[in-house]
Amino acid sequence: MTEVINARCYDLKKEQVLVCEHCGFELKVVNECEKAYEGEGCCTRSQFICCNEPMKLRTYSCYELKTGDSLVCRHCGFELTVVKECNLSCLSEGCCDLKEFVCCGEQMKIKKK
């Protein structure tokens, strides 16, 4: 799942991934920057563009996670593992609107298999 994000570099958090839905190019935030640098002119763009379109922030809805996928909190190590996949029956009812799983105030990350 991806969503357009109008964010300056200082709004992005470590480990977030921006994706170009056209070509698949991805950018991962490795280090965060502070809003204080905005005054120096380095944070003037509010969108990251690829293939002439805004890149989107990758997020995960329940129906995109598959059995065995794990989400991990990088701060405390709390981990969630999908035991049973969503069958999409509730998608039209709006119950799959959750786009991020949060722990310790930050989005949990997919654990690489």
For position 2, what pLDDT does the model report?
47
Residue 26 in domain: yes
Residues 74 and 103 both lie in one domain: yes
For position 79, what pLDDT does the model report?
92
Beta-carbon count within 10 A of 1 CB:
14
Summarised one tens digit per residue, pLDDT across range 13-72 is 777 888 888 898 988 888 888 777 677 767 777 788 889 988 888 777 777 788 888 888
Residue 7 in domain: no
Residues 47 and 71 both lie in one domain: no
Task: Please list, in sequence order, all residues whose beta carbon lies within 8 angstroms of the beta carbon of residue 110, skipping any fewer than 6 positions away.
Answer: 60, 69, 70, 71, 72
* pLDDT at 78 exceeding the cut of 90: yes
User: What's the structural domain count of the chain?
Assistant: 2
Global pTM value: 0.55
Q: Single out the residue of 104, 106, 79, 110 nearest to residue 12, CA to CA.
A: 106
- Most confident range (mean pLDDT) of 37-41, 80-84, 85-89, 93-97 is 80-84
